[in-house]
Chain A
C-alpha cells in the first residue's frame, strides 16, 4: 500500500475514533484527557517536508475543533505539533537515520524510540492545548502537569495500539513447505 495513503488513512481513522469514542475520555476533572488522533500524527512518515506536518497538524486540529466545538484549541495545538514533529524526529533519529518512506514503529525502531517520540509529540500537543485553554501565565505550570499526566495515559494507549495493530515481523521460513507431510 502507498505509504502516503496509508498514513492519511490511519490519521483519518484515529481522528474518527477520537470524535466518536475518545472525546469522552476525560478524567480527574479534566486533568487527564485522551487525544487519540495524535497517534495518527505520530505515524506520519518521517521524511515528509516540514510544511506538510504543519498543514496536516493544523487541519486535523481544525476539523476536530469544528466537530467537537472546541473553537481552535486543537488547531493551535496541531499546528504547534506540526512544527515540532521534524525537530523531535531529528532529536531521536538513529545514527543512520530512519527508513525512507516509513513511519515510526516498534518493529523497525524499537520500543524506546517509539515511546520517546510518542511522548514528546503528545506532550507538545497537550501542553499547548492546556496552555491555550488556560490562557494565563499563572496557569502554565498547571498546564504542564496536566499535559504530563495526559501524555502518560495517551502514550500507554498508543503503545497498546502499536502492540496490537502495529507492523508484525514476517513469519520466518518459506510459506510453502518442502515437506508437506511434516
Chain B
C-alpha cells in the first residue's frame, strides 16, 4: 500500500507538472492545506496567549473597578459626606499562588509583595467581593488571611444603613460565616445584603460581603446571630485585587491626635 501511494504520488506529480488544470487544482489543494495548517498553528498560539490576555483583562478590570469605586466615593450629593468620603482607593491586581481551605487557619499567598506596593493591613477582593486581609509581605509575595480563617474578624453592616456587627468564620465550609452582635430589635430577613462598614480602613464602606442566609435567635442574650453566605468564591479563587487607601496616612495621623 505504501508503494502504491508512493507510485501514485510520483504519477500525480508528473501529471501536475505537465497538465495545466490539475496543476492549478493541486496548487489550490496545497494552498488550502497550508491555510488550514496556519490556522491550526494560529489557534494553538491563541490558546497560548489566552492566559496572558486573561491576566491583562483582569488587571484592566481591577483598574476599572477602582475607578468606579472612586467615582462613587466622590459623588455623594451631600457636602459633608463628600468631605468625609473623599478618600481614594487604588487596586493592585495579583494572582493567588498558594491556597488552603481545609484548615481552621487558612491562608492565601499572592504573587505580589512589597515591590508592587502591597503592605500589611491592605484588603483583598475576589471579583469585587471582600476576601481577605494582608498579614505579611515579602519583596514579591503577600501572605493573606482570608475570611475563612477563624482568627480573623470583620466589621460589617446589615444593608447600607443597618446594624453593625462582627463577622467571624466558624470553620464549617468555605461558603458561610457568622455575623454576631446584632441587636434583637434589628429586623433581618434572609437575602438581606451584608456590606463592609469601612471602619477598619481596610475596605471602603458598602462593599459586598455576602447575603443573609439564616437568622439564629437565642433569647438567652440580647443579640442575634446571622449565618452569612459569603459572596467571595473561595473554591475558585485565582485572580484578586489588593486595595490601597491613599488617604489612610492622613486618617492615621488624626487617630494619633485623639486624647488617651
Contacts and interface: CB of A to CB of B under 8 A. Distances in A.
Classify chain B's interface size.
10 to 19
Given A135-B21, A135-B22, A73 B3 contact: no
A72 B4 contact: no
A54 B6 CA distance: 11
Given A51-B3, A54-B3, A135-B25, A80 B18 contact: no
A79 B8 contact: yes
Given A51-B3, A54-B3, A135-B25, A71 B8 contact: no
A75 B14 contact: yes
A73 B8 contact: no
A79 B4 contact: yes
B13 interface: yes
Contacts of A55: 3
Contacts of B22: 132, 135
B154 to A, nearest CB: 71
Given A135-B21, A135-B22, A135-B25, A71 B15 contact: yes
B10 interface: yes
A127 to B, nearest CB: 14
A75 B4 contact: no
Contacts of A75: 7, 10-11, 14
10 contacts: A58-B7, A58-B10, A61-B11, A62-B11, A71-B14, A71-B15, A71-B17, A72-B14, A76-B12, A82-B7
Given A72-B12, A136-B25, 10 more contacts: A51-B3, A61-B11, A65-B14, A69-B18, A71-B15, A72-B13, A72-B14, A76-B12, A132-B12, A135-B15
Interface of B: 1, 3-4, 7-8, 10-15, 17-19, 21-22, 25
Interface of A: 51, 54-55, 58, 61-62, 65, 69, 71-73, 75-76, 79-80, 82-83, 132, 135-136
